[in-house]
Amino acid sequence: MSGNGIHLWWILSRGTGIAAILVASLSVTTGLLAGRGRPFKLGRFTDIKPVHEALSMATIILVAGHGLLLLGDPWLEPGPAGIALPFHLSYRPFWTGIGIIAGWGIVLLGLSYYARKWIGPGRWRVAHRFVAVFWILGIFHTFGAGTDAGRLWLQVPVAVTALPALVLLGMRLGKRPLGRRASVTGSVP
């Protein structure tokens, strides 16, 4: 293989990983705008839930692609355990472990949308709030394990897509009085 061919799988995985964190940030932003506890009204004719769902599915596909493409990398050679089990991979084990936890959390909570009638709408909404935690872990993974973390061309798009979600998340959390808990079986504000 030529020098560039050896790195093809690594490059493809990096690209899908970068796309995953950018699309995940957009998904979190639209989810916060579409959700029940949104910090402001969008207008009655604005329905961005389909956009949120499409971005969520794209994120899931990109996260899966990010890990699966690494299986072809002849330098890293992660094997199935390396891409599926947190802290198993020898390459930057802490940060890749955080990324694997983030990936599993985002994928499982994203797909739980399709099982919410069995989970229960109230329980599902409570669980779905943890997507933000896994998304933030994904950002930590991006900058802890990412080979391009120090590059402005990565930092700027991540900041531009993550900042609106962080602001909306802060606004939402700021609206909730401390000690107030959502009912697991009832409606979640």
State whether the Cα torsion 107-108-114-116 is positive or negative.
Answer: negative
**83-135 per-position pLDDT tens digit:** 999 999 999 999 999 999 999 999 999 999 999 999 999 999 999 999 999 99
For 135, residues 6+ apart whose C-beta sits below 8 A from its C-beta are 24, 25, 28, 102, 106, 165
CB atoms within 10 A of CB 76: 18
Q: So what's the pLDDT on residue 6?
A: 73
Closest CA to 160 of 185, 139, 187: 139
Q: So what's the pLDDT on residue 147?
A: 86
* Tokens, residue 157: 């798009």
Rounded-to-integer distance, Cα 8 and Cα 11, Å? 5
> What residues of the chain score a pLDDT lower than 50?
1-2, 45, 179-189
Q: So what's the pLDDT on residue 44?
A: 55
CB atoms within 10 A of CB 162: 23
Length of the chain: 189
**If phi over 0 gives left and psi between -120 and 50 gives alpha, with beta otherwise, what is residue 22?**
alpha
Residues 64 and 107 sit within 8 Å (Cβ to Cβ): yes
Residues 29 and 165 sit within 8 Å (Cβ to Cβ): yes
